[in-house]
Amino acid sequence: MNLWSDTLLYVEEQRSALDGAIDADIAIVGGGFTGLWSAYYLKELDPSLRIVILEAERIGFGASGRNGGWCSALYPTTADYTVVRPHLVTSIDEIGAFAHQHAPEVGFVKSGTLTIARSGAQLARLKSTLTSESELLSKDQIRSRIHMRNSIGGTFTPDCAVIHPGRLVRALAREVEKLGVRIYEKSRAITIEPTLITTERASVRATSIIKATEVFSQNSRHHAPIYSLMVATEPLSEEIWSEIGLQQRETFAEALHLVNYGQRTIDNRLAVGGRGARYLLGSRLNKKHEMDHRTHMEIIELTRSWFPVLKRVKFTHRWGGAVSIPRDWHPYISWDKTSGIGRAGGYSGDGVTLSHLAGKTLAHLILEREHPITTLPHVNWQNPMWEPEPLRWIGVNGSVLATDIADREESVTRRPSLIAKALDSFIRV
Ligand SMILES: Cc1cc2nc3c(=O)[nH]c(=O)nc-3n(C[C@H](O)[C@H](O)[C@H](O)COP(=O)(O)OP(=O)(O)OC[C@H]3O[C@@H](n4cnc5c(N)ncnc54)[C@H](O)[C@@H]3O)c2cc1C
């Protein structure tokens, strides 16, 4: 069960499905952060627009309602990071302003993120990749914030907030409806052509269309969906929290090669996620894969190795979803004026903040309003295709395996992994 949809504070009525043929100025396919922020900024720029959103399932069904709740300034590729970063920081603050005004239940706190080294190899890597935005913390400094077993140092990066993503995505849907946007649930777009979307029972004719389906997008060579799985504990007592730390609710991760991420939730649970589940041939999505028992157990084991006090604590929630990884790890936000179709995605697991930037950028591009964000390098970026199968399957799963081996290598040799060095371009799967 997904923690975020299990802790919503209220029961949300299902919205009706689209029925019949309707007209709109802008039709958006996908009711996640990208689609909703696009609608929000389009309405802000032109309140008279007639906007509809078609969501195949329910609002927040996708990654926006399942993620680790890191609202960070992370960007999946180092290329162009220096020019994009200030805009990501602005996006974090704008998401925070939205949450404070409309949805305090999201528990938005910009308390930064901690990366913890538990071996000399990890610490050496943190030092060698330290950027001007992060601060190196000594063993005592890191332990004053988080009591992770065997920690020997780490880094602190201030530009990251913690959120309850399930509440944010639903609050955003409510707010755009107040602005006059019509949202239809259980309304899967079956065909998307310039100016026309059809569903099983209905159609929308619209001047402009936004495809905001990220990892659910169909073209299998355009991205590799990589599963990220999460677990969460029962609410923990103050006594246990005094043994863990995280008094400011900082997000945190161990400096492993294999992606892992944690947060102290607004209702005082520990929620932790990680990669490691197998990639499926043909970039397929499979619901069963979200509940991969082995990966969930490995994340629980890792969490307990960090905080032995959790040995007797129940892990009440397990869930997961896929993140969309383009071949070059480069996000894209594109707008084609001729066809009237825009799209955004390829956030590679960093989409909470990036989807805000994407939605705001698409709104400005479509309405031809000038803004520095419309000239950022990811605008109209052309991603290369992934290799055909089975090469893609061998490459991606080989990298997942090698990443895991690199961490084991480091835990034995205590030196930066040679395997990791060799796999640099694949390593963050
Ligand atoms: C487990 C997990 C942890 C993550 N952790 C983080 C994190 O901590 N920080 C971070 O920055 N990012 C994280 N991410 C990534 C982030 O959640 C996503 O990049 C982001 O939410 C993508 O938003 P989106 O709106 O583009 O896509 P989604 O939220 O996936 O929304 C797409 C929507 O489109 C709908 N749809 C699909 N096809 C159709 C169709 N044909 N017709 C109509 N609707 C359709 C889907 O039902 C879905 O609701 C994580 C992702 C996962 C899965």
Assigned domain for 246 exists:
yes
Residue 411 and residue 291 share a domain? yes
Residue 426, pLDDT > 80, answer no
Structural domains of the chain, count: 2
Q: What is the pLDDT of residue 255?
A: 97
What is the rounded CA–CA span in Å between residue 429 and residue 76?
11
Assigned domain for 121 exists:
no
Residue 231 and residue 215 share a domain? no
Which of 249, 259, 323, 334 gets mutated to test ligand 1 (max ligand atoms within 8 A of its CB)?
Answer: 323
Domain region containing 26? 3-7+14-67+165-219+331-375
Q: What is the pLDDT of residue 128?
A: 93
Q: What is the pLDDT of residue 424?
A: 63
Instruction: Find the 310 Cα to ligand 1 centroid distance in Å.
Output: 30
Instruction: Find the 389 Cα to ligand 1 centroid distance in Å.
Output: 24
Mean pLDDT across 258-276:
95
Residue that has been written with the tokens 């090669």 in this structure? 257
Q: What is the pLDDT of residue 278?
A: 86
Atom 52 (ligand 1) nearest CA: 67
Residue 272 and residue 292 share a domain? yes
Q: What is the pLDDT of residues 103-160, one digit of tens each?
A: 999 999 999 999 999 999 999 999 999 999 999 999 999 999 999 999 999 999 999 9
Residue 241 and residue 295 share a domain? yes
Q: Using alpha carbons, list the distances in angstroms from residue 221 to 224, 280, 387, 391.
A: 7, 13, 7, 11
Q: Is 377 exposed, middle or buried (0-12, 13-18, 19+ CB in 10 A)?
A: middle
Residue 355 and residue 320 share a domain? no
CATH of the domain at 192: 3.50.50.60
* Ligand 1 pocket check for 164: Cβ under 6 Å: no
* Ligand 1 pocket check for 4: Cβ under 6 Å: no
Q: What is the pLDDT of residues 55-83, one digit of tens each?
A: 999 999 999 999 999 999 999 998 889 99
Structure-block tokens of residue 230: 């999460």
pLDDT band at 311 (very low <50, low <70, confident <90, very high): very high
Cβ atoms within 10 Å, residue 389? 13
Residue 421, pLDDT > 50, answer yes
Residue that has been written with the tokens 């890597």 in this structure? 125
Instruction: Find the 385 Cα to ligand 1 centroid distance in Å.
Output: 21
Q: What is the pLDDT of residue 52?
A: 98
What is the rounded CA–CA span in Å between residue 96 and residue 9?
20
Give the pTM: 0.96
The answer to whether the peptide bond before residue 390 is cis (omega within 30 degrees of 0) is: yes
pLDDT band at 425 (very low <50, low <70, confident <90, very high): low
Assigned domain for 250 exists:
yes
Instruction: Find the 160 Cα to ligand 1 centroid distance in Å.
Output: 19
Residue 395 and residue 277 share a domain? yes
Q: At what angle do helices 81-102 and 351-366 cross, to 10 degrees?
A: 90
φ, ψ of residue 303 to 5 degrees: the values are: -60, -40
Residue 232 and residue 297 share a domain? yes
Q: Using alpha carbons, list the distances in angstroms from residue 240 to 105, 177, 190, 254, 280.
A: 23, 41, 49, 20, 39
Residue 371 and residue 280 share a domain? no
Assigned domain for 108 exists:
no
CATH of the domain at 415: 3.30.9
Residue 184 and residue 308 share a domain? no
* Ligand 1 pocket check for 70: Cβ under 6 Å: yes
CB-based contact 100:121 (threshold 8 Å): no
Instruction: Tell me the pairing of strands 202-211 and 20-29.
Output: parallel
Structure-block tokens of residue 374: 């419309």
Counting every residue written for the chain, the total comes to: 429
Q: Which residues, including other chains, have CB under 8 Å from residue 402's CB and lie 6 or more apart?
A: 419, 420, 423, 426, 427
Assigned domain for 338 exists:
yes
Q: What is the pLDDT of residues 372-404, one digit of tens each?
A: 999 999 999 999 999 999 999 999 999 888 888
List the Cα angle 376/170/46 in 5-degree steps: 50
φ, ψ of residue 63 to 5 degrees: the values are: -60, -30
Residue 309 and residue 236 share a domain? yes
* Ligand 1 pocket check for 331: Cβ under 6 Å: no
Instruction: Find the 328 Cα to ligand 1 centroid distance in Å.
Output: 19
Instruction: Find the 349 Cα to ligand 1 centroid distance in Å.
Output: 9
Residue 371 and residue 270 share a domain? no
φ, ψ of residue 369 to 5 degrees: the values are: -100, 140
Instruction: Find the 88 Cα to ligand 1 centroid distance in Å.
Output: 18
What is the rounded CA–CA span in Å between residue 275 and residue 259?
6
Identify the helix (H) or strand (E) that includes residue 184. Answer: strand 182-184
Assigned domain for 196 exists:
yes
Atom 35 (ligand 1) nearest CA: 30
Residue 319 and residue 178 share a domain? no
Task: Give the bridge partners for 135, in sequence order.
Answer: 156
φ, ψ of residue 336 to 5 degrees: the values are: -110, 105
Atom 50 (ligand 1) nearest CA: 67
Residue 427, pLDDT > 50, answer no
Residue 408, pLDDT > 90, answer no
Assigned domain for 85 exists:
no
Residue 274, pLDDT > 70, answer yes
What is the rounded CA–CA span in Å between residue 144 and residue 138?
10
Q: Could you tell me how far CA 425 lies from the centroid of its own chain?
A: 20
Mean pLDDT across 79-98:
96
Which of 18, 36, 67 gets mutated to test ligand 1 (max ligand atoms within 8 A of its CB)?
Answer: 67
